[in-house]
């Protein structure tokens, strides 16, 4: 009983550690610019008054939302850029990573182990290592400063291949062999058995890929010079101190799609964990 109470207490503290900054951000989004500077002026170099953080503002107002949604056209441009780039990256990953993961999991071909090991090595490389080669390739194809400069490297990411390969590998071989004995071809086995049984893994890879692409900062900064092509992740650093109240609202707007997607796909993530434990 005591152990259970201590465990719950630790979990509650960890949850508060994660949720308190988010609640503070949501409350600050309702502050007027004057109250924001009064409470956080020292952070922006405006005076030496102590910081007075609050979850509920003294005088709540929706003026920051109005300013962002009605008087900030740049926000909509960057929001659309994020939707376009992230959506095409996920669609491309389904077309490229999905069959590649099935091939690594259930097909036999020369150099399979070596190629998969190469995928793992690429997956572990930070962006700083691959930035220069990617830049040179994109420059050679005249794709710099276009949406494709961000989309193509994301489509050919090795991470979703690795994730989906693990889930496809957990499908019992006896089930696949039974389907082949019934006359199903490799394509039919993949479509009728592989995709349905590996759906939690596909969704898990899609959710993680969405979070990575939506929050991308380094790649857009390196490959996109035109601000009209920037995604929403680069909107916040471009906000000046006199627009600090808008920054909180923009943070909430940028966080909302990943948060809703995670909450909607949480069951798939849990199913993915269970699927990974299937034994023949």
The confidence score (pLDDT) of residue 92 equals 92
Most confident region among 30-34, 79-83, 173-177, 239-243 by mean pLDDT: 79-83
Q: Tens of pLDDT along 44-84?
A: 666 666 677 777 777 788 888 888 888 778 888 889 999 99
When pLDDT is averaged across residues 137-152 and rounded to a whole number, the result is 92
* Distances 21 to 17, 41, 183, 248, 252 between C-alpha atoms, Å: 8, 18, 57, 12, 12
Average pLDDT, the chain: 83
The confidence score (pLDDT) of residue 44 equals 64
Nearest one of 76, 80, 77, 63 to 249, comparing CA atoms: 63
* pLDDT above 70 for 34: yes
Q: Tens of pLDDT along 180-227?
A: 888 878 888 888 888 888 888 888 888 888 988 998 888 898 899 888
Element housing 122 (H / E): helix 112-124
DSSP letter, residue 176:
H
More confident call, 262 vs 278: 262
The count of residues in the chain is 280
The confidence score (pLDDT) of residue 275 equals 52
Q: Tens of pLDDT along 95-109?
A: 999 999 999 988 888
The confidence score (pLDDT) of residue 280 equals 43
The confidence score (pLDDT) of residue 83 equals 93
Q: How would residue 89 be classed by pLDDT, with cut points 50, 70 and 90?
A: very high
Which residue has tokens 């479509």? Answer: 191
φ, ψ of residue 60 in degrees (nearest 5): -60, 145
Between helices 73-106 and 244-275, what is the axis angle to 10°?
20
* pLDDT above 50 for 278: no
């Amino acid at each position: 009983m005591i152990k259970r109470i201590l465990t719950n207490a630790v979990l509650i503290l960890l949850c508060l550690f994660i949720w308190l900054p988010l609640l503070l951000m949501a409350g600050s989004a309702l502050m007027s610019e004057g109250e924001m500077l009064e409470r956080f002026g020292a952070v922006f170099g405006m005076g030496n008054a102590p910081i007075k953080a609050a979850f509920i503002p003294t005088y709540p107002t929706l003026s920051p939302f109005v300013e962002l949604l009605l008087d900030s056209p740049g926000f909509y441009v960057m929001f659309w850029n994020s939707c376009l780039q992230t959506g095409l990256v996920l669609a491309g990953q389904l077309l490229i990573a999905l069959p590649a993961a099935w091939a690594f999991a259930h097909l036999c071909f020369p150099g399979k182990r070596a190629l998969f090991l190469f995928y793992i090595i690429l997956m572990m490389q930070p962006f700083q290592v691959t930035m220069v080669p990617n830049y040179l390739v994109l420059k050679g194809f005249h794709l710099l400063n276009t949406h494709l400069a961000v989309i193509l490297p994301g489509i050919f990411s090795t991470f979703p291949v690795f994730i989906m390969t693990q889930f496809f590998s957990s499908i019992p071989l006896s089930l696949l062999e039974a389907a082949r004995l019934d006359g199903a071809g490799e394509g039919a086995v993949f479509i009728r058995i592989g995709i349905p049984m590996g759906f939690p893994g596909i969704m898990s890879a899609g959710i993680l890929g969405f979070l990575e692409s939506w929050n991308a900062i380094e790649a857009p900064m390196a490959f996109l010079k035109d601000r009209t092509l920037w995604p929403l992740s680069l909107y916040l650093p471009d906000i000046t101190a006199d627009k600090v109240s808008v920054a909180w609202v923009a943070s909430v707007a940028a966080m909302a799609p990943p948060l809703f997607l995670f909450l909607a796909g949480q069951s798939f993530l849990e199913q993915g964990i269970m699927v990974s434990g299937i034994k023949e």
